[in-house]
Structure 1
Amino acid sequence: MITMNDVIREGHPTLRKVAEEVNLPASEEDKGTLKDMMEFVINSQVPELANKYDLRPGIGIAAPQINVSKRMIAIHVTDDQESLLSYALFNPKIISHSVEKSYLTVGEGCLSVDREVEGYVPRYARVTVKAITLDGKEVKLRLKGLPAIVFQHEIDHLNGVMFYDHINQEDPMEEPEGAIAIER
């Protein structure tokens, strides 16, 4: 079981590397790692389990955050219709995105960052992601709102990018021009 002790923190070199594609069909080891990542995200959202195992609540995690430099992400989040989007994916890739931007009004956080980082993180308002599921099927997901932001945040980890890299350094609290504000 993955715990916060397995999550590497900012400054660790793996977080700045471009992760490698997962060879498909995925090995049992890679499938196991991805299942463990999904279990972590789900458990972290259950208060009793989060307290018991000292887990910080998260809605997504990328393999580089547990020091595995491979293109795998696990996301467990509800959209604005309260529909649950729960995905454990290999080799996710943004294949298209909107011109329009969005941002979370509360800013973004990260399991690998133990400090508050002030500032708005501009993201694409809508993205289409293609990936392979745990059972080897290709999926194409059209996302908007919070799920679109979460997918971009996790895919950034696969490319060695941290969320605060997107924040306007001169004026972190300047609202991105013409962007949709998303409440969380």
Structure 2
Amino acid sequence: MSIPPLSQRNAASPLKKQQQRLQKTEDLCFKLPLKIVEYPDPVLRARNKRINTFDDGVKELVHEMFDIMYKTDGIGLSAPQVGINVQLMVFNAAGERGEGEEIVLVNPVIYKASKKTTLYNEGCLSFPGILADVQRPASVKIDARDITGAKFKVNLSGLPARVFQHEFDHLQGTLFFDRMSKDVLDSVRSELKALEKKYEERTGQPTPERVDDYEGIKVVAGFS
């Protein structure tokens, strides 16, 4: 990634900047089977564009995301976790096909989070084998669109609220260890470093980030 010259950044109008953040047709192109992107792949930190085209491509992507989520024993999955940088998530707190409720959220926005927080031992498909305590608001109120583009509101609490917040973080380029306390982060540091080494061996490139560069919580238990 490179930063454009200052003259170019100043020349971009607010409208042009907004258009750059909207999904284009090619942003939803994907190859099957989908694969889970693991830390520290830079796609997990990239900006995710808002979806503005609700067509069969979105429906197919949702279907395939649920499929790989169930196959990998997940209960939630965001588009960047399968290498597609758009604002889309799917989840089912039951974690079983045919059970619970399948939820699809497009371009979600949190407009209220509870002051009460809870601690929970979280895992993440992009961090295989790693479990750690993360503090999050106990409930959230959300604006979003469904798979057809229709706007709706939803209130979530308990496990569904936690799953949503975990996936929402992915859409912001935030990873769950960003929210861990220093002590908790230290408890999984060696496992994160092992994933960094695995990335370097697989790609032949230096890891794009290192957990040793972190000093503790970088994100507060809330949302902007």
TM range (shorter): 0.7 to 0.9
2:127 pairs with 1:113:
yes
In 2, Cα distance between equivalents of 1:69 and 1:153: 16
Distance 1:157 1:141, change over 3 A: same
Q: More strand per residue: 1 or 2?
A: 1
8 Å CA contact retained: 1:153, 1:163 = yes
Sequence identity of aligned pairs in percent?
Answer: 30
Q: CA deviation at 1:138?
A: 1.8
Q: CA deviation at 1:164?
A: 1.3
2:112 pairs with 1:96:
yes
> Which stretches in structure 2 are left out of the alignment for 5+ residues?
1-30, 188-224
Q: Greater CA deviation, 157-166 or 62-71? A: 157-166
In 1, Cα distance between equivalents of 2:90 and 2:51: 14
Q: TM-score, normalised by structure 1?
A: 0.75
> Out of 37, 58, 61, which is 2:65 matched to?
37
Q: Secondary structure at the match of 1:84?
A: coil
CA deviation map 1:12-35 (0-9, x unaligned): 1010122111114x1332232122
User: Relative contact order (alpha carbons < 8 A, sep ≥ 6): 1 or 2 greater?
Assistant: 1
> Which stretches in structure 1 are left out of the alignment for 5+ residues?
45-54, 174-184
Q: Secondary structure at the match of 2:127?
A: coil
Q: More helix per residue: 1 or 2?
A: 2
> Out of 23, 27, 39, which is 2:52 matched to?
23
2:159 pairs with 1:158:
no
Distance 1:166 1:60, change over 3 A: same
Which amino acid counterpart does residue 115 of structure 1 have in structure 2? G
Question: Which of the two has higher C-alpha Rg?
Answer: 2
Q: CA deviation at 1:165?
A: 1.0
Q: CA deviation at 1:171?
A: 5.0
CA deviation map 1:21-60 (0-9, x unaligned): 1114x1332232122212333xx2xxxxxxxxxx320000
RMSD (Å), alpha carbons: 2.3
Which amino acid counterpart does residue 65 of structure 2 have in structure 1? M
2:143 pairs with 1:130:
yes
Moved over 4 A (4+): none
Query: How many residues matched?
Result: 153
In 2, Cα distance between equivalents of 1:139 and 1:34: 18
Which amino acid counterpart does residue 131 of structure 1 have in structure 2? A
